Structure 1
Amino acid sequence: MRLTHARRATRRSRRFTRRDLAVLGVLLGIPVLLDIGIVWGPTVASVGLSFTAWDGIGTIHGVGGQNYDNLVHNYPSFWPAVRHNLLWLAFLGLIATPFGLLLAVLIDRGVRFSRFYQSVIYMPVVLSLAVVGFIAQLILGTDQGVLNTILGNPEHPIDWLGDAHINLWMIMLAAGWRHVGYVMILYLAGLKAVDPALAEAAAIDGASTRQTFFHVTFPALRPVNVIVGVITVIEALRAFDIVYAVNKGRNGLELLSVLITDNIIGEASRIGFGSAIAVVLLAVSLGFVVTFLVQELRGAKEG
């Protein structure tokens, strides 16, 4: 008994050696330095460069808020890009994400061939959005595209990707196809972790299946909701490769990420102006993410 107490006291009083501190410093310091150098360093630099005029080679000239003024008042592609990004966010958040949750609930209830469904629905997630864009061209293209071939109108095919009135919606469907599988897997993992006793207790109290889900199961998925919500915002606002693969983000597919690329590494390099667009995109992203996290944390405290 005394030996056990002595061991416990030894464990409590054990201090980190210099070697332990060195190992911790390396294991923690390297990721922190990489994060600062790769993420936060360029972010802070972009904020600073957004108040300058620089072509990447010559002298940097401070211009104050002129880049932001030109962006809002003299750059015709800016507001359409903002609108397209918000539509993208609304589509993923209000249609693709709930559909992924629905599929997760159906599969979690033990439908036949559930493993097969999981594999098929999740398969697009392993593809990059650029590859999804190429697949969209094969399906929606006017030149022997699969959809136009099925519709059987070869002389007057519908220009799904060239018509500025519909191409954004078709590309969002393609991006949503990939997003649904990701959301489904996340919610499936969350549903497996929910205590079945909660649903059983609700059923005993007379709650219907729908009431049990919305008042018992879904609130228990709050940690997963936070992850899915943040991922949805990031996926919607950083969308770039799929539209760039289709038509380089033009003719109805303008997005803020495309404008950043066009201005920073385009033919006329305007790094200061492109950085201003990047700062706007960062502010919009943080606004949505922070608001969502605050609401979720407030709901968790109230619950």
Structure 2
Amino acid sequence: MTILDIDQPVAPPPRRKGRRGRATALAGTDRLTLGLMLGIPTLLVLALIWGPALASVALSFTEWDGVGGLSDIRWVGLQNYADIFTTYPRFWPAVQHNLIWLAFLIVLPTAFGLFLAVLLDRKLRFGRLYQSVLYMPVVLSLALTGFIWQLMYNPDQGLINSLIGHAHTDQINWLGNPDLNLYAVLVAAGWKHTGYVMLLYLAGLKAVDPSLKEAAQLDGANGWQTFWQVTFPVLRPINVIVLVITVIEGLRAFDIVYALNRGRNGLELVSVLITDNIIGESSRIGWGSALAVILLVISLGFIVTYLVQVFRKEERS
């Protein structure tokens, strides 16, 4: 090698052309894909949920039979709400039934679902089979659940009257008696709700750190004290989820009562009144929309109040 060869500058390696351009194009494709994956569901939610919800709020201040065009819509202000609270005889019984429905779901099926979850968390023999059997009602639709319990409550050949000996004499009309049908349907709704609550609590119990239970047992705590002072506080997020779901289920209950007797004769619910006024024989879109807004406000009142209290407690702790 000569001196000239050493002093001669070395040429830089050839640059690969197009790498930055390909990276930019790939990033643009990722942005397009991400935009489509987020944008399309967002548009569907806005079009199918928020759009009708806002339209119902606007229509609740109007009078419209839904047959004529938009030019036939007449503005009435708060008149629909005033009439519902003062002159509509079916409204307050329906609200009372919804509150009874909600209280029942919170007290009995929720507590029983938690009890079943605690039992199944102990790794019982055939535990998976028990979970499947108890969760099976959740898979069924409320309409099918109503049909099944309609057969069970049948006065002539129903299972319940046959078991208690009233199938042929002194028949009990569980669904026809307005003093009994609401509680009879609540049993069917609770049968379905228990399995869902059980699954939620079971998932929460699986996430509890076993060392916490062991430490409590070493300190001399019994099973009940360990659950109440160690396990249950850890389940606070699950409690929030269960309460929110229970409130929503209690206030929007519709399918099962509509499948049984179209929400009549003691089974009136606010959701049934909304359906009757919007798609019933006397279509009153504004009136039904006002009922829907009232149900929405009641639901949000329960949920928001509880969530605010829970978040405040977490901030203080």
Same fold (TM over 0.5): yes
**What SS does structure 1 have at the residue aligned with 2:146?**
helix
Q: Give the aligned partner of residue 152 of structure 2.
A: 139
Which residues of 2 match residues 100-179 of structure 1 at below 5 A? 100-153=113-166, 154-179=168-193
Structure 1 stretch displaced more, 199-208 or 97-106: 199-208
**Cα-to-partner distance string for 1:58-79 (whole Å, 9 max, x where unaligned):** 2000001110011011111100
Quote the offset at 1:219 in angstroms.
1.3
Q: Give the aligned partner of residue 195 of structure 1.
A: 209
Quote the offset at 1:208 in angstroms.
2.3
Q: Paired residue for 1:29, among 26, 34, 39?
A: 39
Quote the offset at 1:17 in angstroms.
2.9
Q: Paired residue for 1:95, among 83, 108, 123?
A: 108
Structure 1 stretch displaced more, 168-177 or 21-30: 21-30
Quote the offset at 1:146 in angstroms.
1.2
Q: Give the aligned partner of residue 257 of structure 2.
A: 243
For the aligned residues, what is the CA RMSD? 1.5
**Cα-to-partner distance string for 1:164-215 (whole Å, 9 max, x where unaligned):** 1111001001000000001101111111111101111122222222122122
Quote the offset at 1:246 in angstroms.
0.6
**What SS does structure 1 have at the residue aligned with 2:303?**
helix
Matching of residue 45 in structure 1 with residue 45 in structure 2: no
Q: Paired residue for 2:95, among 82, 97, 111?
A: 82
Q: Give the aligned partner of residue 7 of structure 1.
A: none
Question: Counterparts of 2:312 and 2:110 in 1: how far apart (Å)?
Answer: 22
Q: Give the aligned partner of residue 256 of structure 1.
A: 270
Which 4+ residue blocks in structure 1 deviate beyond 6 angstroms? Answer: none
Q: Give the aligned partner of residue 5 of structure 1.
A: none
Q: Paired residue for 1:17, among 18, 27, 49?
A: 27
Question: Counterparts of 1:27 and 1:43 in 2: how far apart (Å)?
Answer: 24
**Cα-to-partner distance string for 1:138-168 (whole Å, 9 max, x where unaligned):** 1111131111122223132001111111110
Quote the offset at 1:108 in angstroms.
0.5
Structure 1, unaligned stretches of length 5 or more? Answer: 1-13
**What SS does structure 1 have at the residue aligned with 2:155?**
coil
Matching of residue 277 in structure 1 with residue 291 in structure 2: yes
Mark the structure with the bigger radius of gyration.
2
Question: Counterparts of 1:221 and 1:156 in 2: how far apart (Å)?
Answer: 47
- 1:299 maps to a residue whose letter is K
Question: Counterparts of 1:104 and 1:110 in 2: how far apart (Å)?
Answer: 11
Structure 1 stretch displaced more, 60-69 or 111-120: 111-120
Question: Counterparts of 1:103 and 1:62 in 2: how far apart (Å)?
Answer: 53
- 1:75 maps to a residue whose letter is Y
Q: Give the aligned partner of residue 3 of structure 1.
A: none
TM-score, length of structure 2 as denominator length: 0.88
**What SS does structure 2 have at the residue aligned with 1:76?**
coil
Quote the offset at 1:93 in angstroms.
0.8
Q: Give the aligned partner of residue 76 of structure 2.
A: 63
Quote the offset at 1:21 in angstroms.
2.0
**Cα-to-partner distance string for 1:15-68 (whole Å, 9 max, x where unaligned):** 993222222211111111111111111111111100000011220000011100
Between the aligned residues of both structures, percent identity stands at: 63
How many pairs does the alignment contain?
290
Structure 1 stretch displaced more, 289-298 or 126-135: 289-298
**What SS does structure 1 have at the residue aligned with 2:151?**
helix
Q: Give the aligned partner of residue 219 of structure 1.
A: 233
Question: Counterparts of 2:210 and 2:315 in 1: how far apart (Å)?
Answer: 23
Q: Give the aligned partner of residue 208 of structure 1.
A: 222
